[in-house]
Amino acid sequence: MALRNIVEKGDPILRKRSREVGEVTDRIRSLMEDMVETMRHGQGVGLAGPQVGVMRRVFVAEPEPEQVYYMINPEIIEQEGLVEDTEGCLSVPGYYGMVERPQKIKIRAMDLDGNINEYEFEDFAARVMCHEYDHLEGILYTDKATEVHMLSEEADEEDAGEDIE
């Protein structure tokens, strides 16, 4: 595994729609393992292809420690409710914002073995998945946030919320 460079806001790569993955190759598997390493290194809980400069519909997420999801060609097939909470993004370092997301979602995606699975997520995990999914559409949380704040040195980490990605 290797760390990849994280693309930051301002780079047009983050604004493009990513392309579907045709076949899960070793190259895709290796990319996604690198993405997990890069996500953890940045203390994030999710990372999407475009954030490492790869315009493919893939993201990794770890909403709970050691619970890693590898999502290839994900589709959000159901969503329910709305909750507003804090979010951050590894591509927008130093900031956090308030974003409304579905309380519950159902998502369909291919895994590293090429199998298609359906998952249900609620609350924080649903938020992480929706945030990552948006990256594949070229959308950043700052587009949807009602407020965006700078993390100051004095800011209490607890108040700043968790870094989604």
- Cite the active site residues: 132
Q: Which residue is nearest to Ni ion (CB)?
A: 89
* Residue 162 near Ni ion by CB under 5 A: no
Residue among 62 and 165 whose Cβ is closer to Ni ion:
165
Closer residue to Ni ion, CB minimum distance, 22 or 85: 85
User: With DSSP H G I counted as helix, E B as strand and the rest as coil, what are the percentages for the chain, rounded to 5?
Assistant: 30, 35, 40
The yes or no reply on residue 134 touching Ni ion (CB under 5 A) is no
Q: Looking at 93-101, 108-116, 142-150, 157-165, which segment touches Ni ion (CB under 5 A)?
A: 157-165
Decide if residue 89 touches Ni ion (CB under 5 A).
yes
Q: Is 165 in the site for Ni ion (CB under 5 A)?
A: yes
Q: Is 62 in the site for Ni ion (CB under 5 A)?
A: no
The CA-to-CA distance between both ends of the chain, in Å, stands at 19
Spell out the alpha helix ranges (H) of the chain.
26-41, 123-136, 141-144, 157-160
Those residues whose C-beta lies under 8 Å from the C-beta of residue 141, and which sit 6 or more positions away, are 87, 88, 89, 92, 97, 99, 131, 134, 164
* Cβ partners under 8 Å of residue 134, min gap 6: 140, 141, 144
Closer to Ni ion at the Cβ: 89 or 107? 89
Instruction: Report which of 141, 130, 149, 147 is spatially closest to residue 82, judged by C-alpha positions.
Output: 130
Which residue lies nearer to Ni ion by CB, 8 or 33? 8
Kindly determine how many residues on this chain lie close enough to bind Ni ion according to the rule CB under 5 A. Answer: 2
Binding site for Ni ion (CB under 5 A): 89, 165
